[in-house]
Structure 1
Amino acid sequence: MTVVIVGASSGLGRALATGLARAGHEVIGVARTLPPESRGWIAADLSKPAEAAALIGAGVPESVDTVIWNVGVWEAAAFSPEYDFAAAGAAATAEIETLVATNVTAAILGLRALLPTLTAHARPRVILTGSTSGLRGSGRPEVAFGASKHALTGIAEALREGYRGDGLAVTTLQLGNLNTEDGLEVPEREAAARGAGTLIPVHDVVRIVVALLELSPASFVREITLPALLDERF
């Protein structure tokens, strides 16, 4: 398969690019800053959604049949005691606007730009990396980030219904806290030990995505919730 990974330069995206290439897939990454070895990748700043969507739509080859939308920024003080949704001022407002543009608007416009290429294939697939923060009862107070991940689930639902006749398989990965410090070059056991059960190694997510791409055309996985084992919210 030819896979476009949006948000591929570091962390989970980089691990997915490496893992899927090892599994025999052709990988095209999209990132604001391209790694030196990323020949054929697309540079796009998702905080400028319309511009990014145009670049992505024009830059992908006709062979693309799978899109992994792996984008998610959060508030600067998110996941810390310093987080304050009611913080006032121009900087706080700009932060929220950029977050929504990057996490939601870019996904809508970018996927719209990619759909004609995807649906020209017999087995088109979209995989969206959501978050357990976007699930009901998540126990998280980050309003803008949580809302954006709720929105991603809505995007997946609507795409699935709108393009079911085209055979579009849409899967949402609701991921908990990830260990993005250790890439695939770190042994899995060592990566899994970081956080003592509170962090998910990227190895697990890569393994799941590889399995999703191996399913027959007769089935798809609607949603996967993958929290860390010791995440008391789940």
Structure 2
Amino acid sequence: MKHFIVFGASKGLGDAFAKGLPEPGDKVWIVSRSRPRSLEREDGVQRCWIEADLSDDAASGQITAALQGERLDVLIYNVGIWESSGFSADYDFEQDDPQEIANLIHVNVTSPILCIQQLLPHLKKSEKANIFLIGSSAGLENTNNSQVSFVASKFGLRGISHSLREHARKYGIGVTCINPGELAAEVPYEAGADTAVSAYGGTRIPVQDIVSLVKCIASLSKVSCVKEIDIPAMTDTNA
């Protein structure tokens, strides 16, 4: 029986992780602000909702308290907010609100550091633990993105993963940063990968592909150390 905790799991890729990773008998803690629909699934998986706002400094302690000392085998930090007008044709960095910038950096960079620091004792209880940080192809070099704060935060997440890996190595805890390109996150996991491919003409990555990738890495022996994986869409010539 595996124990998972998935941050940002009320919709999109996080919801896909909560539905597609666990097997009957497994337990999943879902961290989100809004109630996840996956709680209603009857598939033999125990799902527990931890309602938390990751922009709040107290969230990490709140999440740790909810676990009540239980073991964790897989931690997935799948949270990434961006500028309110980011990825739009009229985006202008010079118009970004300073408070919005500060909140973005907190949720995307500070929060994973605080939460993982608090949850490492739970991961140490596992015979084979894995931490997955979900980055973005926007955090890679030369991908032509002008969203300064979002890009900086995803570069920062990669730095967190590399340093955290060195700290966690002595405990046998694997740390992997996955940098996907644009996802077909609006297509529900249960609709299937073919539906996602068809809906976007093959330009967006089905969430099922990322779920399969995490499953594969988590199933490897303790000998293997998968550091970082970049997975843009085949049609994305900038990544």
Instruction: Give the structure-1-normalised TM-score.
Output: 0.93
User: CA-to-partner distance for each residue in 1:182-228, whole Å, 9 max, x for gaps?
Assistant: 11221321211222121001111111111111111111311111101
Matched-pair contact (CA < 8 Å) for 2:183–2:207: yes
- Partner residue of 2:28? 27
Runs of 4+ in 1 over 4 A off after TM superposition: none
- Partner residue of 1:41? 49
Which residue, 72, 76, 79 being the options, matches 1:71? 79
Distance (whole Å) between structure 1 residues aligned to residue 162 and residue 36 of structure 2? 33
Matched-pair contact (CA < 8 Å) for 2:79–2:108: yes
Residue 66 (structure 2) pairs with residue 59 (structure 1):
yes
Distance (whole Å) between structure 2 residues aligned to residue 132 and residue 34 of structure 1? 28
Amino acid across the alignment from 2:18: A
Matched-pair contact (CA < 8 Å) for 1:65–1:125: yes
Amino acid across the alignment from 2:187: D
Distance (whole Å) between structure 2 residues aligned to residue 23 and residue 173 of structure 1? 26
- Partner residue of 1:146? 151
Distance (whole Å) between structure 1 residues aligned to residue 38 and residue 209 of structure 2? 25
Shift of 1:122: 2.2
Matched-pair contact (CA < 8 Å) for 2:10–2:30: yes
Shift of 1:52: 0.8
- Partner residue of 1:4? 5
Shift of 1:37: 5.9
User: CA-to-partner distance for each residue in 1:104-130, whole Å, 9 max, x for gaps?
Assistant: 111110111101111232212100000
- Cα distance, 1:37–1:15 mapped onto 2, change above 3 Å: closer
Matched-pair contact (CA < 8 Å) for 2:80–2:108: yes
- Partner residue of 2:166? 161
Matched-pair contact (CA < 8 Å) for 2:182–2:232: yes
RMSD (CA atoms): 1.5
Distance (whole Å) between structure 2 residues aligned to residue 181 and residue 224 of structure 1? 23
Residue 188 (structure 2) pairs with residue 213 (structure 1):
no
Question: Does the residue aligned with 1:41 lie in a helix, a strand or coil?
Answer: strand
Distance (whole Å) between structure 1 residues aligned to residue 63 and residue 114 of structure 2? 10
Which residue, 126, 132, 138 being the options, matches 2:137? 132
Amino acid across the alignment from 1:87: Q
Give the alignment of 1:50-129 within 5 angstroms.
50-60=57-67, 61-87=69-95, 92-129=97-134
Matched-pair contact (CA < 8 Å) for 1:23–1:210: no
- Runs of 5+ unmatched residues, structure 2: 40-46
Residue 185 (structure 2) pairs with residue 180 (structure 1):
yes
Amino acid across the alignment from 2:60: A
Shift of 1:151: 0.6
Shift of 1:22: 4.2
- Runs of 5+ unmatched residues, structure 1: none
User: CA-to-partner distance for each residue in 1:95-151, whole Å, 9 max, x for gaps?
Assistant: 111111111111110111101111232212100000000011121111000000011
Distance (whole Å) between structure 1 residues aligned to residue 232 and residue 83 of structure 2? 21
Shift of 1:33: 1.4
Distance (whole Å) between structure 1 residues aligned to residue 70 and residue 227 of structure 2? 26
Distance (whole Å) between structure 2 residues aligned to residue 206 and residue 22 of structure 1? 13
Matched-pair contact (CA < 8 Å) for 2:3–2:71: yes
Distance (whole Å) between structure 2 residues aligned to residue 120 and residue 16 of structure 1? 22
- Cα distance, 1:24–1:205 mapped onto 2, change above 3 Å: farther
Matched-pair contact (CA < 8 Å) for 2:137–2:230: yes
